[in-house]
Amino acid sequence: MGLNSMDEYWVPEHVKDYLRKLGFVLSLDDMEPWIRSWDDWMGARGDFYDYRDKDGMGRVYEVHRRSIHPAMRVCKEWGSLLLNEDVKVVCEDQKATDWIGEYFSNTGFMAQAQDTVVRAFGLGTGAWALWLDLDHRKVRIRHYDARMVIPLTWDEDGITECAFVTRAFYRGKAVDQLQMHLCGDVGFSAGSSSPSLSSPSPSPANMDGLLGMEGNGTYRIATVCFDHEGNEIAPVGVTPVCDTGCPLPTFGIVKPAVTNTRVDMSPYGQSVFADAVDAVQAVDLTFDALINEIDVSKMRVFLSDVLFDREKSGDKTISIPFGKTDCTVFRKVMSTEDTIQEFAPALRTGSQAEAFRVALQMLGDLTGFGISYFDFDDSRGYDKTATEVSSDNSALMRNIRRHENALTEALVGIARAVMCVSRSFGESIPEEGVMHVQYDDSIVQDTAAEKAQDMAEVGVTLNAWEYRMKWLGEDEETARKRAAEIGARAVGKGTA
């Protein structure tokens, strides 16, 4: 069993009230019931898994249904297919590409980003947002899932202002931290009993550079903290309002490429398994039935009275019990014939396994993997090669491209924001220009074979620098230069 939903963090009501007093209409109110439901399915919680039943005598007892956590499995699969350490954000300038690659590597961004994608595909929405360490002049990225994301301004093109709510600890006590990423000259006055949006206030005198910018059309991060009773507090070292100097959104919203059909016009996304809840139930129902079949079909042994030792208990003589208390050994009362009798019920695991297999096929089909992705057979089980996946599962390949296109916007957006604010902190980063994401498709495609094929084409239909651009993520200038250097060395060795 996972954590009880009561132990998980959800946006407190006093934070919602605070935002409502600022004049914001919270789209979270309509989506939160759905998000809670999807969270329960990911954790295999709820009435489907823990319920009450009655026996023939009318006695009520609790029942727990076994689970292989199919909803979580679906989300983890999508996370591993879309993001790993080999995914690169590629800029038009090679130095910018190298800088953002080193930044992601040093901060461990991609490893945590995969977890964000897993939660976003399960709950419908996730986010990456900038967090600024003004003392050390460093930019960090924080990760959020749908429970902590509150869009403030949005349209058909996306979310332009957003709030993020998390739990922090200040001097040993839990506090709720609200951070609003607001755009333009809209100021923010915090710390009063009646919160309001006002004209921008001057930056503190001791904050130069980043906080001393004019701020026209740039994003500001407003931070408010609350204690457990909902009272505003001002922890030491937390800047109420910080002008990032970045004209671009200082966050990236992660959503699967699935249309939200639960709440119309909502800025939130929809869980990748929202339309497959019945398939999730079918998988766990058949799995539980398979285990129950094995459990109730254990061999039973019936022993005659004469095989049991006896002892006196008061005026009575009773049989001394032996064996495990697992209902496999029984005593035949007043019997001397057939001292040992075995009974082994016929197992129906073949038909149970077939039903389990059909349920897995439907789960894969309804969650975008194709009907054969979770399928298994006696020879190979779940294991498949990249060639088998790509050749047998065109549905999966199409859906991977759709999700990659949706994910690219968030990755490029947060990378641009990191570089923009880092320049304000004094980092020497060239303009990134046009950016794209180079995904690692080796999991579902035979990348080694494709590389070998392209290598064979070098000098025939493909230039060496084109090969380097495609497979090494270099810009054209760098690729031409390095290809020329390698060619020159090769010529030199040949002459020698």
Residue 193 has pLDDT above 70, yes or no: no
If we measure between CA atoms, which residue out of 339, 341, 399 comes closest to residue 365?
Answer: 399
- Segment 60-115, tens digit of pLDDT: 889 999 999 999 999 999 999 999 888 999 999 999 999 999 999 999 999 899 99
Q: Could you give the 3-state DSSP secondary structure of residue 287?
A: helix
Residue 378 has pLDDT above 80, yes or no: no
Of 33-47, 236-250, 344-358, 385-399, minimum mean pLDDT range:
385-399
pLDDT-derived band at 368, boundaries 50, 70, 90? very high
Tell me which of 137 and 304 has the higher pLDDT.
137
The residues, any chain, with a CB within 8 Å of residue 247's CB and separated by 6 or more, are 217, 218, 219, 420
End-to-end CA distance of the chain: 69
Residue 424 has pLDDT above 70, yes or no: yes
Q: Which residues pair with 159 in a beta bridge?
A: 154
In this prediction, residue 189 carries a pLDDT of 52
> What are the tokens at 447?
């990348």
Contact 397, 229 (CB under 8 A): no
Interval 16-38 mean pLDDT:
96
CA separation for the pair 215, 282 (Å, rounded) = 54
Interhelix angle 447-457/464-472, rounded to 10 degrees, is 160
Strands 219-226 and 232-233, by their bridges, are: antiparallel
CA separation for the pair 70, 285 (Å, rounded) = 11
Q: Please identify which residue in the block is written with the tokens 């460093």.
A: 138
If we measure between CA atoms, which residue out of 84, 119, 113, 87 comes closest to residue 269?
Answer: 119
Q: Does the CA dihedral 356-360-361-365 come out positive or negative? A: positive
Tell me which of 230 and 204 has the higher pLDDT.
230
CA separation for the pair 385, 82 (Å, rounded) = 17
Interval 201-225 mean pLDDT:
60
- Segment 32-65, tens digit of pLDDT: 999 999 999 999 999 999 999 887 788 888 999 9
In this prediction, residue 372 carries a pLDDT of 86
CA separation for the pair 241, 181 (Å, rounded) = 10
Contact 106, 257 (CB under 8 A): no
Of 75-84, 349-358, 384-393, 484-493, minimum mean pLDDT range:
384-393
In this prediction, residue 226 carries a pLDDT of 97
- Highest mean predicted confidence (pLDDT) among 81-90, 269-278, 295-304: 269-278
- Highest mean predicted confidence (pLDDT) among 9-18, 198-207, 209-218: 9-18
CA separation for the pair 284, 47 (Å, rounded) = 13
CA angle 363, 371, 270 (to 5 degrees): 45
CA separation for the pair 9, 489 (Å, rounded) = 59
Tell me which of 17 and 487 has the higher pLDDT.
17
If we measure between CA atoms, which residue out of 187, 146, 180 comes closest to residue 161?
Answer: 180
If we measure between CA atoms, which residue out of 469, 496, 31 comes closest to residue 255?
Answer: 31
The residues, any chain, with a CB within 8 Å of residue 457's CB and separated by 6 or more, are none
Residue 275 has pLDDT above 80, yes or no: yes
pTM for the structure as a whole: 0.80
Q: Please identify which residue in the block is written with the tokens 């060395």.
A: 489
Interval 475-496 mean pLDDT:
71
3-state secondary structure 144-204: EEHHHEEEEEEECCEEEEEEEEEEEEECCEEEEEEEEEEECCCCCECCCCCCECCCCCCCC
**Cα Rg, the chain, nearest whole Å:** 30
